[in-house]
């Protein structure tokens, strides 16, 4: 299919590479110039202005930073039968309908960069068939029927850099104990990645059951989980998730 990207940044690039590797005809806008140039060199994508990208594309992927959406999208003209995928957090379905009118085949989703390798769950609100056509089955589409619930998935997605930040702190601590920063980061990341990849993905309550299998009486694992709770880590996470949800839903309570 002919797929166009409006905005070419950190999220768009792996999507472009995934689709180009599957044989789709891809066009991107120039910004960011560095990333678009890299995609031209590596995957032979076309680069053009936003309106020209829309004109040649059957499906358009909107990858703008939310604060730039109005200025970039308002002047553009979409087509009635065009498919539109938005990955812009905080831009509502109602706003997208206005920006993309007369196009009505619109879906919102939440990709992360590992989509390029498959296995990235794509929470989707709207016309999920557009998303599945391009990214499934390698990346499972998780249909969400309520926009507030969809925004809650955006909040969970934001938890990923928070967890990475905690892992970086742990890696720094290990580096200070061993005087070997590279080994510390390798060990920390491989430990978590290996554990998660080995988990039984078809079993219910696996997070709790795996935690409890490790954090048994008298273990340092239990000391870790208890201490994190006692120092408010879980309360901070719940509060932050709620604050992000309120922000995305346009509420203050």
The pLDDT tens digits of the residues spanning 100-138 come to 999 999 999 999 999 999 999 999 999 999 999 999 999
pTM value?
A: 0.87
For residue 204, the SS3 value is: coil
Average pLDDT over residues 62-88: 96
Q: pLDDT tens-digit profile of 21-32? A: 999 999 999 888
How far is 63 from 109, CA to CA, in rounded Å?
A: 11
Q: How many CB atoms lie within 10 A of CB 117?
A: 12
How far is 6 from 24, CA to CA, in rounded Å?
A: 16
Average pLDDT over residues 209-236: 96
Judge whether 191 and 197 are in contact, CB under 8 Å.
no
Average pLDDT over residues 143-160: 94
The residue extents of the domains of the chain are 2-145, 149-249
Residue 202: pLDDT band (50, 70, 90) is: confident
Report the candidate in 187, 223, 17 with the shortest Cα–Cα distance to residue 114: 17
Average pLDDT over residues 55-80: 96
Place of tokens 């206005």: 98
Task: Report whether pLDDT(98) > 60.
Answer: yes
Task: Report whether pLDDT(253) > 80.
Answer: no
Q: Which fold has domain 2-145?
A: Rossmann fold (3.40.50)
Q: Is 34 exposed, middle or buried (0-12, 13-18, 19+ CB in 10 A)?
A: exposed
pLDDT at 252: 53
Task: Report whether pLDDT(63) > 80.
Answer: yes
How far is 98 from 160, CA to CA, in rounded Å?
A: 31
Task: Report whether pLDDT(12) > 50.
Answer: yes
Q: Is 165 exposed, middle or buried (0-12, 13-18, 19+ CB in 10 A)?
A: exposed
Average pLDDT over residues 203-227: 94
What percent of the chain lies above the pLDDT cut of 90? 90
């Amino acid at each position: 299919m002919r797929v166009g990207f409006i905005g070419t940044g950190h999220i768009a690039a792996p999507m472009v590479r995934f689709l180009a590797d599957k044989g789709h005809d891809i066009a991107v806008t120039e910004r960011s110039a560095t990333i678009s140039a890299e995609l031209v060199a590596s995957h032979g994508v076309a680069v053009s202005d936003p309106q020209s990208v829309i004109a040649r594309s059957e499906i358009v992927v909107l990858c703008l930073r939310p604060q730039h959406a109005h200025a970039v999208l308002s002047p553009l003209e979409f087509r009635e039968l065009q498919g539109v995928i938005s990955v812009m957090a905080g831009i509502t379905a109602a706003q997208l309908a206005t920006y993309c009118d007369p196009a009505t085949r619109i879906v919102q989703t939440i990709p992360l960069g590992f989509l390029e390798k498959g296995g990235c769950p794509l929470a989707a609100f709207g016309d999920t068939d557009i998303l599945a056509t391009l990214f499934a089955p390698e990346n499972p589409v998780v249909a969400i029927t309520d926009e507030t619930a969809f925004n809650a998935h955006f909040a969970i997605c934001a938890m990923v850099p928070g967890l990475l930040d905690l892992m970086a702190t742990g890696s720094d601590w290990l580096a200070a104990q061993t005087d070997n920063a590279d080994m510390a980061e390798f060990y920390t990341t491989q430990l978590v990645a290996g554990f998660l990849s080995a988990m039984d993905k078809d079993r219910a309550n696996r997070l709790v059951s795996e935690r409890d299998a490790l954090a048994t009486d008298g273990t340092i694992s239990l000391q870790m989980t208890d201490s994190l709770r006692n120092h408010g880590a879980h309360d901070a996470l719940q509060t932050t998730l709620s604050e992000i949800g309120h922000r995305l839903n346009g509420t203050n309570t």
